[in-house]
Structure 1
Amino acid sequence: MKYLLFTLFLFLPFTKLQSQSTTHKLSVEVSVDETLLNSFNRSGRLFIFLTKNPDLEPRQQIWPNPYSKTHIFAVNKDGFPKDKPLTFGPDLNWTKTTEWGLTNVPEGTYYMQVLWDQDSKESRTGAPGNLYSSKKKIELNSSKHLAVVLNQQIQKRSLKEHPLAKLIELKSDTLSNWWNKEMRIKASILLPHGYQKGKSYPIRYNVAGYGGRYTRLNRLLNNNKFMEWWESDEAPKIINVFLDGEGPFGDSYQMDSDNSGPYGYSLIHEVIPQIESKYRGTDEMTTRFVDGCSTGGWVSLGLQLYYPDIFNGVYSYSPDAIDFENYQLINIYKEKNAFYNEYDYLRPVMRNEYGEPMLSMKEFVAYENVFGPSNTYLDSGGQFSAHTALYSPKGEDGLPQPMFHHVTGEIDSLVAKSWEKYDFKRYAEKNWKTLGPKLQGKIYIWMGDMDHFYLNTGTRGFENFLKNTKDPKSDAIIEFSPMEGHCSLFSHKEILIKIKERLKALE
């Protein structure tokens, strides 16, 4: 899941506006700045962002957040004219995050931004090339028709220049053949202090929290305290690789999928060999490690489990649900509804460290529905979009088959059964006779016992299985920290120190 510090998810929930007696209609007349016409695509999805918080950039509030008080409306449009404005009225079939619509917006002060999602290469609205308007303050005290201009464009990503930072980009023949179009993969590399080409180095593959990109290395490069340590003799001589999280339906999860394609095969047989042949000086498994938090916690553990001969240790923090009998608070194999529990009570999906619910599963999915061109979470590029793309079979409409309905939450038991292939507890249980010996000494998992997204329940289920293993008895280390939340103890420096200690033990 997203670790941004936090990821699956360090997205905080949104709250409903209190009911107000005075409401107004809102329509928006949208035009494109003439300087951007050459890069304007006439087909896309239009988003209107309304927030009460003057300090935020509305278009960037893509996760439920109670402090931003952001409300989002979206509609698909083909044939957007280049040469004249186009009115998007309140009576269109908007998909929205609110119970109210643009026909009855509560009176008040808002900050509005319009985004035109015209990019077809990436799965989310922050993709380079998308157009957006400047933030506009509006006093909604009557029905209004507002004119906005798409006058800005999201720029291409770039990696900060540094002697120890490198960019890897390759065409994946595996994915290109699967998709019948060119598919490219990127990763960034942080070399150790004193790096010498041709020398043999241990290597660490870091997997981001939800949707994290290869450019997250920039955060470390800009962290003076970390870089001072990294460029000292105290830091271990380890190559760091930061894998890219982008995939066709959101995060690729670096695993093979009926919907996204063979990302796992590509990683093992294309990405890793190219990186290591160019930088590492060896391809030994004994000095190859993987780690991550949230989504990265799940992926790193999954890579160790499904490719036990490739990695010699995993450091998994706050992993997404690794036991689908505890898919957060849902037993997907037995329960009938993802939104309501057995007591017909609205199921929370997020809480604070003291257990106070902050957001319901239903609200979270409603948010994702807005970002999907299908008006469902299935192609939203969000958390449950990526889960469904990875775990589910492909549907007849070309989208992943939903495990639960996007509006009612009703669970499809047949689809839920198909998710079992990525249920780590059941996978390990089924294959323990051959898998167990290959995992000895390799598994470290950390979890906060007050994880913000109830992910500790799945990790408890996995731990209970490992405690009862035989031939061999698992020696996995699973640590639960009381009153700690999602990814709260994850640290790049601490991971590198753990790997250094592991390497010393292997000598």
Structure 2
Amino acid sequence: MKKSNLLSTAAFLFVSVCCTSFLCSCSDTAPSENVGGIELSFPTEHYQEALDGRVIVLISKNIETEPRFQLRDDSKTCQAFGMDVNDWNPGEPLQFDMEAFGYPIKSFDSLPSGEFYVQVLFHKYETFKRADGHVVKLPMDRGEGQQWNRAPGNLYATPQKVTITNGQFPAISITLDQKIPPIAEPEDTKYVKHIKIKSKLLSDFWGRDMYVGAHILLPEGWDTHPDVKYPLAIMHGHFPSDFGGFRTTPPDPNMEPEYSERFDVEGYNVIVQQEAYDFYKTWTGPDFPRVIAIKIQHPTPYYDDSYAVNSEAQGPYGDAITYELIPHIEQQFRGIGEGWSRFVYGGSTGGWESLAVQVKYPKEYGMAFVACPDPIDFRAYCLVNIYEDENAYYQEGPFRKTLVPGHRDYLGNVDASLKDMNYRELVLGTKGRSGQQWDIWEATYSPIDEEGYPKRIWDRLTGKIDKEVASYWKENYDLAYIMKRDWEKHGKDWEHKIHIYCGDMDNYYLNNAVYLAEDMLSETTAPYYNGEVDYGDRAEHCWNGDHENGNHISRLRYHRMFIKKYVDKVDKVAPKDADLKSWRY
């Protein structure tokens, strides 16, 4: 799950008491006849062909950073409006729809008066002719991790100043004269390698060449022990970047220390580099287990990773990773190549994925270490019970409605409602194309609609939950429910393998689903699950079982923590004749 910054509870409570939020009041305002217009164009030097995509107009009070980097869930956000575009030709004027949906204010004529900066960005889509017969237009990841404001090939304009007076937006003309450059492929080093393979399964599904890959960290002595085969430590999560947590040199002495607002820590960038260097020394030291560690790369047209399972909207990513990519890595880099010798770990998205592949491929993976997972029981889909609640945005009573919180800090201070978070995504993309958190959950868990896009679990404008979609989610992706349903069949394959860690003040309330999953696991018999569930006192998102260090440190130590945990427990899942010695040199 992706992170937003924190504010106080006071503003949230004020909005909650008002029956409907400020956003709702904006929707009741008729468009003003005084609203001007925004005429857009892009030059032929960037593209010669017609383009499909999403135009995003951003309005900010300052340009300390560009407006395209200021859109967020909390009250520090800039304003944004979005509009779908098809067949936009170079040099052709395009009129932006001044009645387009906006966040956090819904309509142009409700904007406050004053001087502002306007920036426009175009998020480029591609056309996919899928094997199921659907033709869909989606933004393919281009190495940036499905970040609309950084995606190579996207067009944007230099911010320009405007004055808004009494709801009147001026008539302006903007040329999207900037194009985000491509991202260079990472280079191999002694320890870190990179692979990318064409997936037949995914290429067949999407109707074009599709690839999966991995960043690979080789153990010390891999090159001098050519006959040794190694366990595979598989870290799941959204990782568009290189193996950045591994650094062979000390921190840059010339780097200017930066303050981390999230952790309230000075010089956090220096801390990150020091942790990466310390991991290198630990990894190559005499006492660390010798395994091959990998970070899987599986971006999709919906997100920076696929959630590592098969789905109707995204295709057979689970099978592509398990039966194509991992065997390829094991063959090329001398992995043991047996289910017990592959273990998975990760946090947030990676936490859900680690549990999901262990549940859906019980014999193919030997252990799962699951930190702060995305909802693993949909009775607690954050703060929504999709089976019993009628509306995701409000707790409704006979005389008032209270907004459902979406994000908090470790003291419970709320800075965004669930509705805020969904509205922001709706501005960034319709039909599940925002590249953000709530959309990827639908792209993963939902059946497809008549156009071939994921069905909504709830109406994005009203919050009304679709119970048929919820039922589909339950049978296919509610991990706690699936384990309970299938324990008699797969319990022996899951024994000793499930280990879950979560802060009890997770920013997204993910601990609530862990409580429910723990209740289910504690009742298992024949066999008992024989794993672990642990909670961090007042720990926020990404807590991973480290009771000794703050979250700003522990979240940087996934490899060194979970690899050791696996090695300490591997004898419980390995067959009696397994080689547990040669790779421990």
Q: TM-score, normalised by structure 2?
A: 0.77
Letter in 2 for 1:128: P
Is the aligned partner of 1:233 residue 2:285?
yes
Distance in 2, matches of 1:409 and 1:500, equals: 44
Kept in 2, the 8 Å contact 1:188–1:214? The answer is no
1:292-371 map, 5 Å:
292-343=346-397, 344-371=401-428
Is the aligned partner of 1:207 residue 2:236?
yes
The 3 A distance-change label for structure 1 pair 454 and 501 is closer
Give the aligned partner of residue 432 of structure 1: 487
Kept in 2, the 8 Å contact 1:32–1:149? The answer is yes
1:160-239 map, 5 Å:
160-161=186-187, 162-196=189-223, 199-208=228-237, 212-218=238-244, 220-221=246-247, 223-231=273-281, 232-234=284-286, 235-239=288-292
Measure how far apart 1:101 and its partner are: 2.4
Deviations along 1:414-436, one digit per CA (max 9) or x if unpaired, are 21111112111111111112322
Measure how far apart 1:372 and its partner are: 1.8
Mean Cα deviation higher: 238-247 or 139-148 = 139-148
Give the aligned partner of residue 10 of structure 1: 3
Letter in 2 for 1:150: L
Distance in 1, matches of 2:39 and 2:203, equals: 40
Is the aligned partner of 1:134 residue 2:158?
yes
Is the aligned partner of 1:74 residue 2:70?
no
Kept in 2, the 8 Å contact 1:26–1:102? The answer is no
Is the aligned partner of 1:498 residue 2:562?
yes
Letter in 1 for 2:381: Y
Measure how far apart 1:479 and its partner are: 0.6
The 3 A distance-change label for structure 1 pair 415 and 100 is closer
The 3 A distance-change label for structure 1 pair 418 and 30 is same
Give the aligned partner of residue 388 of structure 1: 442
Kept in 2, the 8 Å contact 1:316–1:444? The answer is yes
Kept in 2, the 8 Å contact 1:445–1:478? The answer is yes
SS of the counterpart of 1:290?
A: strand
Give the aligned partner of residue 296 of structure 2: 243
Distance in 2, matches of 1:63 and 1:380, equals: 13
The 3 A distance-change label for structure 1 pair 205 and 502 is closer
Letter in 1 for 2:228: K
The 3 A distance-change label for structure 1 pair 284 and 117 is same
Distance in 2, matches of 1:155 and 1:13, equals: 32
Paired residues in the alignment total: 488
Distance in 2, matches of 1:462 and 1:392, equals: 21
Kept in 2, the 8 Å contact 1:12–1:66? The answer is no
RMSD of aligned residue pairs (Cα, Å): 2.7
Measure how far apart 1:13 and its partner are: 7.0
Give the aligned partner of residue 3 of structure 1: none
Kept in 2, the 8 Å contact 1:192–1:230? The answer is no
The 3 A distance-change label for structure 1 pair 122 and 13 is farther
Measure how far apart 1:191 and its partner are: 2.1
Deviations along 1:314-343, one digit per CA (max 9) or x if unpaired, are 111110111111111111111111111244
* 23, 35, 38: which one aligns with 1:28: 38
Distance in 2, matches of 1:253 and 1:62, equals: 25
Measure how far apart 1:504 and its partner are: 4.1
Distance in 2, matches of 1:493 and 1:236, equals: 15
SS of the counterpart of 1:389?
A: helix
Measure how far apart 1:477 and its partner are: 0.6
Mean Cα deviation higher: 340-349 or 419-428 = 340-349
Distance in 1, matches of 2:62 and 2:214, equals: 35
Kept in 2, the 8 Å contact 1:260–1:389? The answer is yes
Give the aligned partner of residue 5 of structure 1: none
Give the aligned partner of residue 4 of structure 1: none
Distance in 2, matches of 1:465 and 1:332, equals: 18
Deviations along 1:70-124, one digit per CA (max 9) or x if unpaired, are 111111223434235x2535x5441221334233431234333211112425164
Distance in 1, matches of 2:115 and 2:228, equals: 61
Letter in 1 for 2:104: T
Give the aligned partner of residue 419 of structure 1: 473
Measure how far apart 1:253 and its partner are: 0.5
The 3 A distance-change label for structure 1 pair 134 and 254 is same
Q: TM-score, normalised by structure 1?
A: 0.88
Measure how far apart 1:460 and its partner are: 0.2
The 3 A distance-change label for structure 1 pair 105 and 491 is closer
Give the aligned partner of residue 148 of structure 1: 174
The 3 A distance-change label for structure 1 pair 373 and 346 is closer
* 140, 143, 148: which one aligns with 1:122: 140
SS of the counterpart of 2:534?
A: strand
SS of the counterpart of 1:215?
A: coil
SS of the counterpart of 1:387?
A: helix
Is the aligned partner of 1:88 residue 2:79?
no
The 3 A distance-change label for structure 1 pair 498 and 207 is closer
Mean Cα deviation higher: 165-174 or 95-104 = 95-104
Give the aligned partner of residue 132 of structure 2: none
Gaps of 5+ in 2: 12-20, 27-31, 127-138, 252-272, 544-550, 572-579, 581-585
Distance in 1, matches of 2:221 and 2:22, equals: 56
Letter in 2 for 1:76: D
Deviations along 1:355-384, one digit per CA (max 9) or x if unpaired, are 12221111111111112244xxx3322212
SS of the counterpart of 1:118?
A: strand
Distance in 1, matches of 2:378 and 2:22, equals: 34
SS of the counterpart of 1:103?
A: helix
Computing the radius of gyration over CA atoms, which structure comes out larger, 1 or 2?
Answer: 2
Kept in 2, the 8 Å contact 1:13–1:64? The answer is no
Kept in 2, the 8 Å contact 1:315–1:495? The answer is no
Is the aligned partner of 1:460 residue 2:515?
yes
Measure how far apart 1:452 and its partner are: 0.6
Give the aligned partner of residue 107 of structure 1: 113
Distance in 1, matches of 2:42 and 2:119, equals: 14
Mean Cα deviation higher: 178-187 or 51-60 = 51-60
Measure how far apart 1:198 and its partner are: 5.4
SS of the counterpart of 2:402?
A: coil
SS of the counterpart of 1:364?
A: helix
The 3 A distance-change label for structure 1 pair 100 and 328 is closer
Deviations along 1:38-71, one digit per CA (max 9) or x if unpaired, are 4x6433221111223433232234542433x211
Give the aligned partner of residue 482 of structure 1: 537
Mean Cα deviation higher: 295-304 or 123-132 = 123-132
Is the aligned partner of 1:59 residue 2:62?
no
